[in-house]
Amino acid sequence: MGYVFMTAGCYVCGTLFSFNPMKVPSIRDGNGVRQAVCRACVELANKVRKERGLEPFPIADGAYAPCDESELEF
């Protein structure tokens, strides 16, 4: 059994961060490809959304932690 995490630059701010590829919040780029977003950017977006009376974007438990290799979907 093994554990997996990905490391990439945040699509919003470019900061390098690690995450669970199955749970990390993401947005789709101009080509429709999911791009990961770091916790700081999601939390900032949620602060703005709350101020505007909108629902926050969910952050799944374990989104920024390693996952069991059995969780991966190819």
pLDDT 10s digits, 26-38: 999 999 999 999 9
Neighbouring residues of 19: CB distance < 8 A, sequence distance ≥ 6: 5, 6, 7, 8, 36, 38, 63, 64
Tokens for 17? 């961060």
Neighbouring residues of 61: CB distance < 8 A, sequence distance ≥ 6: 23
Degrees to nearest 5, angle at CA 1 with 60 and 22:
25
pLDDT digits (tens, 9 = 90+) for 25-69: 999 999 999 999 999 999 999 999 999 999 999 999 999 999 888
